[in-house]
């Protein structure tokens, strides 16, 4: 697994984790915790999009790395 794939997987795991926490907080009526979880999800989705955008144009997900866009 390449670095960008590992980074993407980490962000997706964060989305799943934050979603689970937000659901539990919602069930308990903890609205501030729900908002916090949703904010985490929003940030992780933005990061996923940024990783995919960089790879789609043949760049690297991290500044200073070389990379090629995945094919197929």
Write the CA distances from 35 to 3, 26, 31, 50, 51, integer angstroms.
30, 9, 6, 23, 24
Please check whether residue 47 lies inside any domain of the structure.
Answer: yes
Please check whether residue 61 lies inside any domain of the structure.
Answer: no
The per-residue pLDDT for 68 is 43
Average pLDDT over residues 20-37: 96
Overall domain count for the chain? 1
- Residue 33 pLDDT greater than 60, yes or no: yes
The structure's pTM equals 0.72
Mean pLDDT across the chain: 84
Helix 31-56, helix 3-27: angle, nearest 10 = 160
The per-residue pLDDT for 63 is 52
Please check whether residue 33 lies inside any domain of the structure.
Answer: yes
pLDDT band at 72 (very low <50, low <70, confident <90, very high): very low
Domain span at residue 22? 3-56
- Residue 22 pLDDT greater than 50, yes or no: yes
């Amino acid at each position: 697994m390449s670095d960008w794939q590992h980074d993407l997987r980490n962000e997706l795991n964060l989305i799943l984790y934050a979603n689970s926490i937000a659901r539990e907080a919602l069930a308990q009526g903890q609205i501030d915790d729900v908002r916090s979880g949703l904010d985490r999800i929003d940030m992780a989705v933005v990061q996923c999009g940024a990783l995919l955008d960089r790879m789609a144009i043949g760049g690297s997900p991290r500044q200073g790395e070389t990379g090629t866009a995945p094919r197929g």
